[in-house]
Structure 1
Amino acid sequence: MSTTRKTSTKSADSVNEAASTAQNFMNDGLERMTQGMSNVGAFGQENVEAMIESATTMAKGFEKIANENVEYAKKQMETGSDRFQSLTKARTPQEFFEAQSELLRNSMETQIGQVNKMSDMMIATARDAAQPLSKRYTAFIEMVQQSR
């Protein structure tokens, strides 16, 4: 009978140990799952914040571009009337065509300069707006690599 008790005691201890191991395994799994869900939520929140930052940067950039275009249009209207007066002052067809050529040349140079300026402003806006999203992409890649 003593052998039966020892065997029963060993069996009970083995069952208790197995149950304890299973419970620890379940607790660890639950803790990892909870931590993972928390990380996913935080990552998603950071993505939303990056999108908002990017959209804000884009809106500010477009506002600057629009203001620059308005200023350019005002300036062109002011200088256009002055230049037109130079055409009316021409006394000969030769002077008229020279003034017209000068007016056209100045207008083209100014327009090309403005197009270059607008292009630079748009590129800078796009680059600045992409920066927060690029950082989030990098964070995503790092997160995927760490999870392997």
Structure 2
Amino acid sequence: MATKAKTAGDHLKDSAETVARNGTEAFKNGFEKAVKGYDQVLGLGKDTVEAYIKAANAAGKGVETLQNEMYLFSKQSVEETLAATKAVLSAKSVHEAFEIQSDFAKSAFETYVGQINRMNEIVLSATKDVFEPIQGRVQAWVETVHTARAA
């Protein structure tokens, strides 16, 4: 009978130890996952701030490029207009002045259309450069959410 009581006591003790060990391991695993998730969130925050800084720098460069392009176009336009004006004023006849003015108007319009296309390219390129780092962060966030849901 003592052996039977001892065996039941040992069995109860072993069961209690197993429950305690399993509970401790489950708590430890849960805690580690929580800390890992917290670390990922902190990492996402840091990486996101860096992405926004890169995006802001890209936006600044895009605006600077656009302003430089506008300045150069304006300068070129003024110079061409002055040259055309001088040519019109030095024309020997009304017909010659009209020809010079017509050629200038056609050339100015073509240059203007070309410049609009060039500025559109700059804006599109700058927009792509601005959103590229942010797009990477959105993708990383989506992957983190999917990983967390799967775990």
1:89 Cα deviation (Å)?
1.4
The percent of aligned pairs where both chains have the same amino acid is: 26
1:8 Cα deviation (Å)?
2.3
Specify the alignment match of 1:103 in structure 2: 104
Specify the alignment match of 2:61 in structure 1: 60
1:115 Cα deviation (Å)?
0.9
> Partners of 2:33 and 2:139 in 1: how far apart?
23
3-state SS in 2 of match to 1:90: coil
> Partners of 1:5 and 1:146 in 2: how far apart?
48
Unaligned runs of 5+ in 2: none
> Partners of 1:17 and 1:143 in 2: how far apart?
34
TM-score (norm 1): 0.90
Specify the alignment match of 2:85 in structure 1: 84
> Partners of 2:121 and 2:10 in 1: how far apart?
82
TM-score (norm 2): 0.89
1:128 Cα deviation (Å)?
1.5
3-state SS in 2 of match to 1:56: helix
Q: What letter corresponds to residue 28 of structure 1 in structure 2?
A: N
Q: How does 1:124-143 map to 2 (within 5 A)?
A: 124-143=125-144
> Partners of 2:72 and 2:46 in 1: how far apart?
39
Specify the alignment match of 1:39 in structure 2: 40
Greater Cα offset, 94-103 or 33-42 = 94-103
Unaligned runs of 5+ in 1: none
3-state SS in 2 of match to 1:91: coil
> Partners of 2:97 and 2:54 in 1: how far apart?
54
1:60 Cα deviation (Å)?
0.5
1:43 Cα deviation (Å)?
1.5
| Residues 18-74 of structure 1, C-alpha deviations (whole Å, 9 max, x = no match) | 112111111111111111110111122111111110111111011011011111111
| Residues 79-131 of structure 1, C-alpha deviations (whole Å, 9 max, x = no match) | 21111011111233222221211121111111111111111111111112121
Specify the alignment match of 2:29 in structure 1: 28
Give the alignment's Cα RMSD to 1 decimal.
Answer: 1.6
Q: What letter corresponds to residue 128 of structure 2 in structure 1?
A: R
> Partners of 2:16 and 2:147 in 1: how far apart?
36
User: In the comparison of the two structures, how many residue pairs are matched?
Assistant: 148
